[in-house]
Amino acid sequence: MPEQSTKERLMGYPKEILVDYMLDGPLLFQIDFKKLEWRKLQLRRRKLLDEFRALLDVPTKPRSKWFQAHERIDQIQAQLERLEAKTDSLLWPEKEEVTHADGP
């Protein structure tokens, strides 16, 4: 698969993230895609947290709705954990371990 152009890569991000980044950030030739990806993950995290909070406010009278809400809450928590792992990997990439060929 050929490498994507900068324009194609930028089109993969939500407009609100790009506008925010361009207002805060560097010129176009200095784009930090890790920072853009981090902002995209933060936006997704924020939306999931908003949905999570809304589900917590769902009236729990009918049992089926209560179970549906809590199943969705569990799904959101799993997504948040995966997003945290992605965010951490962007902020703190794992360092390569140094091994010595001549001994332990």
Q: What is the pTM of this model?
A: 0.48
User: Is residue 70 one of the residues assigned to a domain?
Assistant: yes
Report pLDDT digits (tens) over 56-70. 776 655 566 667 777
- The number of distinct structural domains making up the chain is 1
Helix (H) or strand (E) holding 25: none
User: Is residue 101 one of the residues assigned to a domain?
Assistant: no
Q: Which value, to the nearest 10 degrees, does the dihedral of the CA atoms of residues 14, 81, 54, 74 take? A: 130
Residue 28: its pLDDT value, please? 57
**What residues make up the domain containing 42?**
6-91
Residue 1: its pLDDT value, please? 46
- Percent of the chain clearing pLDDT 70 (strictly above): 71
Q: What is d(CA 41, CA 12) in angstroms, rounded to the nearest whole number?
A: 13
43 has a pLDDT exceeding 80: yes
User: Is residue 10 one of the residues assigned to a domain?
Assistant: yes
User: Is residue 96 one of the residues assigned to a domain?
Assistant: no
Residue 68: its pLDDT value, please? 75
Q: What is d(CA 5, CA 27) in angstroms, rounded to the nearest whole number?
A: 17
User: Is residue 98 one of the residues assigned to a domain?
Assistant: no
